[in-house]
Amino acid sequence: MEEQNGRIDSIRTLLDQKLRTRAMDHSLRSLTVRDGLVDFASNDYLGFARSEYLRRFRDKAAKSLEPVSLGSTGSRLLSGNSHLAEDLEQELASFHGAEAALLFNSGYEANLGLVSALSHRHVTVIFDEYVHASIRDGARLGLGRSYSFRHNDPEDLERKLSAAKGPALVLVEALYSMDGDLAPLDQILDVCKRYAAELVVDEAHTNGLYGDRGQGLVAEKRLEGQVFARVVTFGKALGCHGAAVLGSSNLVKFLVNFARPFIYTTALPASSLISIKSAYGHLPGARAERAALRANIDKFNDLFPGRNCTGPVQSLVVGGNERTRRAAQRMVEHGLDVRALLSPTVPAGTERLRICLHAFNTAEELHRLALVLREELATLEMGLSEKAVSNW
């Protein structure tokens, strides 16, 4: 059936039309498996996901806990709770300098549960315009008013807070995964204090990388006692899966009672908990990995003088879904796994190549990446000389 008078009377027609529109916009997503390429795409910043040492450490830890159930068998509030989960939460809280921690199955669920539960009808939620979709979705599901402020702009945040009604909750990411820039946490926290607003920091891309033991950016800046809550994830630098909310004991009790993604989700199985515990056991001593990652970030910036992106995520704005797709495909043809970020994931006109640097990338791989990127910019006829390229 066809659309008539703005109405669609067939679900199948709706699917066809939506997919056709995405295909015409060159924004149709699909699943791919890429083997044999140099990894400049994954979030495995420290190489934990590929670590044979951690694999042996995890297997040894698993054997010491046998017999354990293969599955968690239910939500934490039913049959899915365990001493292993509660002990891990205590370890996480201690490691990150928090009063308490609560495990979630993913960073998406942690943000969704935290924000939607806190977004009471009397609360105003204000978030950086570049925050992850999970934070935006949590705000949509909540009952409170929600607004965005300009990216990394404390002055615009202050304008929004000055007009806020009722208690205010401010949400930022420590490191933004699309552009790779850090949040000015000290300045944002100063603004929050002036308006008695509570600050939540998503540390998905800084957990494991910042701080003397990898505790995150908030810990590196010694702001643990001033931040209302943090979200730490385990699927990036920790090389496994899951997430946790860090905060007060009261916050954890509140989430156990009101965070729907926690209440109604089957808990993480013992195998995941053991992997997380093993990764954290290795994290304080992973100084060589963190140093290697920092060195590779410096090398990459040196290859493009004028850049000063201090995190592992680097991005090159190409513009246009079709051009960005073609650019990513040519990177693959050179043996480099670099992914395209297309609209609507990023705003139209800012489609980009997203480059993730790792501790395990070699100097030869970085030089090859830089060479191909320069060649690709010339191929795209963007009108950028090598000197101009150095300024992205």
Catalytic residues: 43, 132, 173, 177, 202, 205, 236
Is 71 in contact with 220 (CB distance < 8 Å)? no
Query: Interhelix angle for 154-162 vs 185-194, to 10°?
Result: 20
- Residue 1, Cβ density class (10 Å: 0-12 exposed, 13-18 middle, ≥19 buried): exposed
- Distance between CA atoms of residues 155 and 157, nearest Å: 5
Beta bridge partners of 198: 169
CA 318 vs CA 30, 152, 154, 373, 381: distances in Å: 21, 22, 28, 11, 11
Three-state secondary-structure class, residue 136: helix
- Distance between CA atoms of residues 135 and 202, nearest Å: 9
Nearest to 241 by CA among 209, 279, 282: 279
| CB-based contacts of 382, cutoff 8 Å, min separation 6 | 318
Is 200 in contact with 114 (CB distance < 8 Å)? yes
DSSP state string for 362-383: -HHHHHHHHHHHHHHHHHTT--
Pseudo-torsion of CA 156, 248, 252, 68, nearest 10°? 120
| CB-based contacts of 47, cutoff 8 Å, min separation 6 | 239, 289, 358, 359, 360
Q: Which residue is it, tokens 């891990």? A: 88
Q: Which residue is it, tokens 């000063």? A: 308
Q: Which residue is it, tokens 């009261």? A: 250
